[in-house]
Amino acid sequence: MACDTALLVVDAQESFRHRPYFREEGVPAYIARQQALVDGAKAAGMPVVQIFHLDDTGPFAETSGLVRPLEPLRIAPDAVFRKRRHSALVGTGLDVWLTRNGIRRVIVSGIRTEQCCETTARHASDLGYEVDYVGEATLTFPMTDAAGREWSAADIRARTELVLAGRFARIVTVEEALAGRQGGAAA
């Protein structure tokens, strides 16, 4: 793997288990794909960057003890950043770290698919990074819109991939992300 690529693991933290919308049913599949991506990146010598979301109170507060990797995910990050905004690139120093380390391509994964992962992917693209978005290594939860329609996690993932593909990111599987520029949708 080229040394110009970094894996971003966005907000994969225990804090989510303590939110009212959290549902366990998607977690095992997510953990399996996220772990495969983390392990593959490490094996390829690719830096793994862990990002945690923080709030002043509640389960996302540092004092909660929940700002730690979502169990049973195992990550030995090369760098850790803490954020207070949706994009991992706002106010964290991540962009400076990426630049200093010669990173031109980021692989986006983590929690929530349509929120911090999508926002980070869009922001990274706007900053000029090549972006691979690994939807199968993201997790989200059903949401109900203003008209009362419940959108499943699968619906939300499909919508997110649709709006990112060809505009902000290349939509890829874990294996395609680890293989580099082959396969997937063109950005």
User: How far apart are the C-alpha atoms of 164 and 166, rounded to whole Å?
Assistant: 6
User: How far apart are the C-alpha atoms of 124 and 92, rounded to whole Å?
Assistant: 13
At 24-79, the pLDDT tens digits run 999 999 999 999 999 999 999 999 999 999 999 999 999 999 999 999 999 999 99
Alpha helices in 4-152 (DSSP H): 27-43, 94-100, 118-126
At 113-133, the pLDDT tens digits run 999 999 999 999 999 999 999
At 77-105, the pLDDT tens digits run 999 999 999 999 999 999 999 999 999 99
Residue with tokens 């540092």: 62
Q: What is the pTM of this model?
A: 0.94
User: How far apart are the C-alpha atoms of 5 and 26, rounded to whole Å?
Assistant: 28
- For the cut 50, the answer to whether the pLDDT of residue 1 exceeds it is no
The domains located in the chain, with CATH, are: 5-179 (3.40.50.850)
